[in-house]
Structure 1
Amino acid sequence: MIEPAIRRAASKDEARLGALQKRAYVKYVPLIGAEPQPMAETPAMLLAGYEVWVVDGVEDGLAGALVLRTAADHLLVWSVAVDPTQQGTGLGRRLLDFAEAQALERGFSEVRLYTNALFTENRKLYAHLGYAETGSETFEGRELVHMAKALAATA
């Protein structure tokens, strides 16, 4: 079976992106007592201020989205959203692999991300994928854990 392509999001994806962000992150609301940051950003804000990549899903919805921001010395994975029906299929890992490939193509040797300290499953997954915790900070009353992965260019 051919996996749907990861493609750059366009303005036509705005409504589907917003719906995906809500589906993917709503499960965290009871845990932290508020909407996670990716739910607070409107799709228009994401498309205007970040680099957004998407994977089309079934029934005109998006299966996943990756939001990136380029920094001076690394690529930041700002958000990885996977539709709940697609979680556990490897799509999240595929999106992170794509982010790492993008970083290498741009000459970066590091990818960074951050997650809520209470999202222990995410922290374990990121650690399993080679991301190390590099620090933490309090942001808008929430504890964020910063993580980074060193990348090695392949010959």
Structure 2
Amino acid sequence: MATLSEPAIRRAASDDVARLGALQKRAYVKYVPRIGTEPQPMAEDAAALLDDYEVWVVDGDDRDVLAGALVLRQEPDHLLIWSVAVDPTQQGTGLGRRLIDFAEGQAQHRSLGQIRLYTNAQFTENRALYSHMGYVETGTEQYEGRDLVHMAKKL
């Protein structure tokens, strides 16, 4: 449950589309120079995310912006974290970890024994954070010119 200092994580609605797209761009733009292209979440159409995935958001102090977003997809045997986006002004506050903890809670609530995610191989800080949180690298693949690292955590 959110406290006064922690806005609630809520299911995204159709009126969040523009704010979600803007957040995805703000959160991932720092990686463009490193990988030479837009990371997949930055390039994805926000309306399509709401249609194709389960999207959870955290409102910012300003109602016109989102502080964070979590994009999930349920599979038969696991929950996939497709994206965790945190506004640059909120990075380092624990919001990203809170969103991941929420995703893990959703997987447990659904009686799924595993949660998975993938990240760009060049996002070394993300790989280190996920490893610290108990995620294990399970494989790599090349997808649309991106080198991805798959990670999983047993719950």
- TM-score range normalised by the length of the shorter chain: over 0.9
Aligned equivalents of 2:154, 2:141: Cα separation in 1: 21
Secondary structure at 2:89's aligned position in 1?
helix
Question: Which residue of the other structure, out of 48, 69, 73, is the alignment partner of 1:69?
Answer: 73
TM-score normalised to structure 1 length: 0.96
Counterpart check, 1:28 vs 2:23 = no
Q: Distance in 2 between matches of 1:143 and 1:26?
A: 18
For 1:63, give the aligned amino acid: A
1:32-51 map, 5 Å: 32-51=35-54
Which residue of structure 1 aligns with residue 95 of structure 2? 91
Q: Are residues 1:56 and 2:59 paired? A: yes
Distance apart, 1:33 and its partner CA: 0.4
Q: Secondary structure at the residue paired with 2:34?
A: helix
Count, aligned residues? 151
Pairwise CA RMSD: 0.7
Residues in 2 aligned to 1:3 and 1:141: alpha-carbon distance in whole angstroms:
37
Distance in 2, matches of 1:88 and 1:106, equals: 29
The answer for unaligned runs of 5 or more in structure 1 is none
Say whether residues 1:106 and 2:113 are aligned partners.
no
Report deviation, 1:145: 0.2
Aligned to 1:10: 13
Q: In structure 1, what residue type is equivalent to 2:97? A: R
TM-score (normalizing by structure 2): 0.96
In structure 2, what is the Cα distance between the partners aligned to 1:94 and 1:20?
17
Give a deviation string over 1:65-108, Cα, whole Å, max 9, x none: 00000111000000000000000000000000000000011110
Distance 1:58 1:121 in 2: 27
Quote the sequence identity (%). 75
In the alignment, structure 2 segments of 5+ residues that lack a partner are: none
Q: How far apart, CA to CA, are the structure 2 residues paired with 1:83 and 1:39?
A: 13
Matches of 1:39 and 1:2 in 2, distance apart? 28
Structure 1 position 2, deviation (Å): 3.2
